[in-house]
Amino acid sequence: MAEDKTHFGFREVAAEDKAKLVKNVFDSVANKYDVMNDLMSMGIHRIWKRIALQLSHVRYGEKVLDLAGGTGDMTLLFQKRVGDAGQVVLSDINAAMLSRGRDRLLDQGISGNVQYAQIDAEKLPFADNQFDCVCIAFGLRNVTHKEEALRSIFNVLKPGGRAIILEFSEVQGSLLKKTYDFYSFKFLPLMGKLVANDAESYRYLAESIRMHPNQETLKQMMATAGFERCEYFNLTHGVVAVHRGYKL
């Protein structure tokens, strides 16, 4: 693929166009995002996120960047861990998603240790060595230049800091893979049409998962970006995986 091309789902598009196409997807689904997450995963996404929290080893007083944080699920978990002495920055490139996340947290009375930023994961506007943990949950597959995002994450982490990447990955087992493919390409778009009035965005979701680097590939990409002690943990037979790497 030429350097100025990338994938938007199964389609090959100009790299400069992908961010706009992804924006359109999340502008469309923002209002139904949380409902659809619960329906699509039958609520299991909440368990995946709690496991990612545990693997992050975030402690009281630390500073966390929640990249592509959307409606704030991970921020809600992190802000309880860091307490009043810590800080969580909820960030997203999409204004509609970030606005829903901010409203949700404020409605729950959460304000003191959470800040908000509309930012691009490929070009983080922070000085080096700022965060104890950077988490990106279900967002990396939508990034155009994943290598740039990983390097940017590495730069803003403090020495000893951790990157946590929670993302859909490669399902393990041929029988489960066939079942998962049927669910993804037949059931998800139908559910998207019925609940969110948007089948195409959920068809893109299924396609983007298949185009995302698998577990071993992403692990190597993290190592190339400078991370050490890189490892991953398959959840639900590889439907998702948590990758962790350290800046030492």
Number of domains in the chain: 1
Nearest to 162 by CA among 93, 59, 238: 59
Residue 103 annotated as binding site = no
Asked whether residue 149 is marked as a ligand-binding residue, the answer is: no
Spatial distance between the Cα atoms of 221 and 113, rounded to a whole number of angstroms:
32
Segments forming the whole domain that contains residue 57: 5-173+202-246
* CA separation for the pair 246, 171 (Å, rounded): 25
CA 190 to chain centre: 23
The answer to whether residue 114 sits within a structural domain is yes
228: domain CATH number is: 3.40.50.150
Whether 188 is in a domain gets the answer no
| pLDDT in the model for residue 196 | 86
Mean pLDDT value of segment 62-89: 97
Residue 144 known to bind ligand: no
189 is a domain residue:
no
Asked if residue 52 belongs to a domain, the reply is yes
Classify residue 197: in a domain, yes or no: no
Answer whether 240's CB lies under 8 Å from 167's CB. yes
The percent of residues above 70 in pLDDT, for the chain, comes to 99
Task: Classify residue 185: in a domain, yes or no.
Answer: no
What does pLDDT average to over the chain?
Answer: 95
196: in domain: no
Q: With cut-offs at 50, 70 and 90, classify the pLDDT of residue 111.
A: confident
Q: How far apart are CA 189 and CA 207, in angstroms?
A: 11
Position 186 in a domain: no
Mean per-residue pLDDT for 43-67? 98
Two tokens at 243? Answer: 């990758």
